[in-house]
Amino acid sequence: MKKVLERLERKYRLKLPRKVITIDYGDDVGDLFIRFRHAKHTEGEPTGDGQVIVHYDEKENIAAIEILDITTL
């Protein structure tokens, strides 16, 4: 998981939290959802290439990240 987070940070110039709460991998479509913190409401914003959605909490902290196709990393 550490390597995945490091690749995401380099590729998308993000600073991601290191504490991971949950990981959900959808092997049927190859998507990976990583939650860093619990939030009542999040807003998802896709990266420029549309391969990743960054979810921000109400204080604009990164709450989760969704990789739509893990093979693109």
User: Quick one: pLDDT at residue 28?
Assistant: 81
Digit-coded pLDDT (tens) for 16-52? 998 999 999 988 888 999 999 999 999 999 999 999 9
User: Closest by alpha carbon to 40, among 63, 22, 16?
Assistant: 63
Judged by DSSP in three states, 42 sits in coil
Q: How far is residue 41's CA from residue 54's CA, in Å, rounded to a whole number?
A: 13
- Structural domain including 43 reads 2-72
How many domains, in total, are found in the chain?
Answer: 1
pTM for this structure? 0.89
Judged by DSSP in three states, 9 sits in helix
User: Quick one: pLDDT at residue 51?
Assistant: 95
29 pairs with which residues across the strands? none
